[in-house]
């Protein structure tokens, strides 16, 4: 059985077939860089990372594009409040985003197009929609006329009958009930201050939806394989992307639409606007390893809601520790007494892992297969029936699993000997009041990625992220 994925377009699990054999083009809606992303957002990016890694595991070459929304109502407001330019303001959060994804061991996309660097592409798309009468201009803005696109609603299953006649929506974010013509290009208004472009469709700025249509098609072509995002993007964002892209090209835009469910806090979606969120930084400052967060986000199937709690995070940390202990134990095996069943058990574990992920990326089942393997092998080791060659084969399989899961990376957990020695050396120098020497050693430690903090309880350290 091959890979099956749940397609929001059909609300069914479908066999996955790529447009070009062996190659996949996928697009992931990226962050709006107006603030630090919260771990709910990272559920969306960890999911896209899992999908990409598993497609690679299956032998596909994957090209992934993720946009950075660096212009919208929120970024403009933020830069005005701080009295700095839009690009200065968004640069800070772009950097933070890349630091955060690195900490979460999310592999980088191939391209991260920024909206402000693609205004011409967006304007060209708006022009095309105007030419084809899918759009109209009013008061210097351009709107997509949804009545000209009869299949509007096919992704979200929204009905055209619910359309509010004559409604025009200019905001970047709107509610499910508000179905109407949406802004492609927004005429300049005082609130936008310095932020505008003089273009063939007028003075102003792009709407949010047009950015993803223009940039995905620029880097992936008119018709590509997979588009991902959280379920809140199904309507209006992705519905509008389909209307814009298919309206302009007359071709099918995307074959498979995949959406992750939300991360919740006490039963409610984690969101900036509800104030119930944690950024990655909030959690790391409590001393958690970022990979424990990755584990937590991965361990529940992506189409199930996941309630965030610190107990849950502790559980993820413990599960991760069990895997690390297992790896350490395998590395310490010296026996030559091989177990006859090992080859068979490894084979079964691998097929169990693959069958689970083939079934719409069922990660909780895949992790279950790994823990079954850990249990069985631990039993063999306890009984003294396990050789170093068996251990090597098991380690190789664990590494193979980890090419998909990305959870066994672990420099965060321990200080190596060299750093411990340097810390002692520095403490000694401080005791002897050799400040220059102590400073020199501190710099050496910092160059190894460790930050020291001298507190009344003694010197503390943390890993730089
Ligand atoms: P935004 O920056 O709001 O456009 O969101 C970026 C991504 O995070 C989108 O794919 C959203 O669907 C997703 N997202 C936002 N909140 C959550 C949440 N609480 N749980 C899971 N995904 C979310
Ligand atoms: Zn998007």
Q: Is the CB of 35 under 6 A from ligand 1?
A: no
Does 9 share its domain with 154? Answer: yes
Enter the tokens of residue 52.
């990409």
Q: What is the pLDDT of residues 10-65, one digit of tens each?
A: 999 999 999 999 999 999 999 999 999 999 999 999 999 999 999 999 999 999 99
Looking at all shown ligands, the one closest to residue 237's CA atom is: 2
Does 239 share its domain with 336? Answer: no
Q: Is residue 303 part of a domain?
A: yes
User: How far apart are the CA of 41 and the centre of ligand 1, in A?
Assistant: 4
Looking at all shown ligands, the one closest to residue 271's CA atom is: 1
Does 207 share its domain with 296? Answer: no
Q: Is residue 269 part of a domain?
A: no
Q: Is residue 274 part of a domain?
A: no
Q: What is the mean pLDDT of residues 436-453?
A: 84
Domain with residue 101: its CATH number is 3.40.50.620
Q: What is the pLDDT of residues 231-248, one digit of tens each?
A: 999 999 999 999 999 999
Q: What is the pLDDT of residues 358-413, one digit of tens each?
A: 999 999 999 999 999 999 999 999 998 899 999 999 999 999 999 999 999 876 44
pLDDT of 202 reads 97
Does 36 share its domain with 156? Answer: yes
**Residues in the 5 Å CB sphere of ion ligand 2:** 29, 212
User: How far apart are the CA of 241 and the centre of ligand 2, in A?
Assistant: 8
pLDDT of 449 reads 72
Does 56 share its domain with 177? Answer: yes
Residues 6+ apart with CB under 8 A from 138: 168
β-strands 224-230, 202-206: how paired?
unpaired
Does 354 share its domain with 437? Answer: no
Q: Mean pLDDT of all residues in the chain?
A: 93
Residue 26: closest CA among 109, 86, 139: 109
Residue with tokens 């932020």: 195
User: How far apart are the CA of 152 and the centre of ligand 2, in A?
Assistant: 17
The larger pLDDT score, comparing residue 400 to residue 415, is at: 400
Task: Report the nearest-CA residue for atom 9 of ligand 1.
Answer: 230
Q: How many domains does the chain have?
A: 3
Task: Report the nearest-CA residue for atom 8 of ligand 1.
Answer: 41
Does 380 share its domain with 446? Answer: no
Alpha helices in 5-72 (DSSP H): 39-57
Q: Is residue 270 part of a domain?
A: no
pLDDT of 8 reads 98
User: How far apart are the CA of 191 and the centre of ligand 2, in A?
Assistant: 24
pLDDT of 417 reads 77
Does 118 share its domain with 246? Answer: yes
State which residues form the domain around 442. 417-463
pLDDT of 455 reads 66
Looking at all shown ligands, the one closest to residue 209's CA atom is: 2
pLDDT of 369 reads 98
Q: pLDDT grade, residue 415 (50/70/90)?
A: low
Does 321 share its domain with 199? Answer: no
Q: What is the mean pLDDT of residues 210-221?
A: 98
Q: For a pocket test of ligand 1, which of 38, 40, 41 has the largest count of ligand atoms closer than 8 A to its C-beta?
A: 41
Q: Is residue 266 part of a domain?
A: no
User: How far apart are the CA of 451 and the centre of ligand 1, in A?
Assistant: 31
Q: Is residue 278 part of a domain?
A: no
Q: Of 206, 226, 260, at which residue does a domain stop?
A: 260
Q: Ligand 1 atom closest to Cα of 231?
A: 12
Does 251 share its domain with 333? Answer: no
Does 352 share its domain with 224? Answer: no
Instruction: Write down the pTM of the prediction.
Output: 0.88
- Cβ-contact 464, 447 below 8 angstroms: no
Does 31 share its domain with 157? Answer: yes
Domain with residue 396: its CATH number is 1.10.730.10
Residue 230: closest CA among 360, 13, 42, 44: 44
Q: What is the mean pLDDT of residues 340-346?
A: 95
d(CA 120, CA 137): 18
Q: Is residue 122 part of a domain?
A: yes
Enter the tokens of residue 174.
């709107």
Residue 59: closest CA among 34, 20, 22: 22
d(CA 394, CA 427): 42
Q: Is the CB of 44 under 6 A from ligand 1?
A: yes
Q: What is the pLDDT of residues 156-168, one digit of tens each?
A: 998 877 766 667 8
Q: pLDDT grade, residue 448 (50/70/90)?
A: confident
Q: Of 260, 294, 313, at which residue does a domain stop?
A: 260
Q: Is the CB of 234 under 6 A from ligand 1?
A: no
Q: Of 194, 225, 260, at which residue does a domain stop?
A: 260
CB atoms within 10 A of CB 282: 13
Q: Is residue 79 part of a domain?
A: yes
The larger pLDDT score, comparing residue 456 to residue 417, is at: 417
Q: Is the CB of 29 under 6 A from ligand 1?
A: yes
Q: Is the CB of 270 under 6 A from ligand 1?
A: yes
């Amino acid at each position: 059985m091959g890979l099956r994925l749940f397609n929001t377009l059909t609300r069914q699990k479908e066999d996955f077939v790529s447009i070009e054999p062996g190659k996949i083009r996928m697009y992931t809606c990226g962050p709006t860089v107006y603030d630090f992303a919260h771990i709910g957002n990272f559920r969306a990016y960890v999911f896209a990372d899992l999908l990409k890694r598993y497609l690679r595991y299956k032998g596909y070459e994957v090209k992934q594009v993720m946009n950075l929304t660096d212009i919208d109502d929120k970024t403009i407001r933020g830069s005005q409040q701080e009295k700095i330019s839009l690009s200065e303001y968004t640069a800070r959060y772009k950097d933070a985003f890349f630091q955060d994804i690195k900490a979460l061991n999310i592999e980088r996309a191939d391209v991260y197009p920024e909206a402000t660097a693609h205004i011409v592409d967006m304007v060209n798309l708006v022009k095309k929609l105007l030419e084809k009468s899918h759009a109209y201009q009013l008061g210097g803005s351009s709107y997509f006329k949804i009545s000209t696109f009869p299949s509007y609603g096919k992704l979200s299953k929204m009905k055209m009958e619910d359309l509010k006649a004559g409604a025009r929506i200019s905001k970047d974010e709107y509610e499910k009930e508000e179905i109407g013509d949406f802004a492609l290009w927004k005429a300049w208004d005082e609130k936008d201050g310095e932020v505008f472009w003089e273009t063939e469709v007028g003075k102003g700025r792009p709407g949010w939806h047009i950015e993803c249509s223009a940039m995905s098609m620029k880097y992936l072509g008119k018709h590509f394989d997979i588009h991902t995002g959280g379920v809140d993007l199904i309507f209006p964002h992705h519905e509008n992307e389909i209307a814009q892209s298919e309206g302009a090209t007359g071709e099918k835009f995307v074959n498979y639409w995949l959406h992750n469910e939300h991360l919740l806090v006490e039963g409610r979606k984690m969101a900036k606007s509800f104030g119930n969120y944690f950024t990655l930084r909030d959690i790391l400052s409590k001393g958690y390893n970022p990979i424990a967060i990755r584990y937590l986000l991965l361990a529940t199937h992506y189409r199930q809601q996941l309630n965030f709690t610190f107990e849950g995070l502790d559980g993820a940390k413990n599960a991760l520790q069990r895997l690390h202990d297992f790896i350490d134990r395998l590395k310490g095996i010296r026996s030559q007494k091989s177990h006859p069943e090992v080859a068979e058990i490894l084979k079964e574990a691998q097929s169990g892992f693959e069958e689970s992920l083939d079934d719409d990326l069922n990660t909780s089942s895949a992790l279950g297969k790994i823990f079954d393997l850990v249990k069985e092998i631990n039993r063999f080791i306890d009984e003294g029936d396990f050789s170093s060659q068996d251990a090597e084969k098991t380690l190789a399989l664990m590494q193979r699993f980890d090419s998909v899961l990305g959870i066994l990376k672990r420099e965060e957990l321990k200080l190596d000997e060299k750093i411990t020695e340097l810390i002692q050396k520095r403490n000694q120098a401080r005791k002897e009041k050799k400040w220059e020497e102590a400073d020199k050693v501190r710099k050496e430690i910092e160059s190894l990625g460790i930050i020291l903090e001298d507190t009344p309880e003694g010197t503390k350290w943390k890993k730089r992220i």
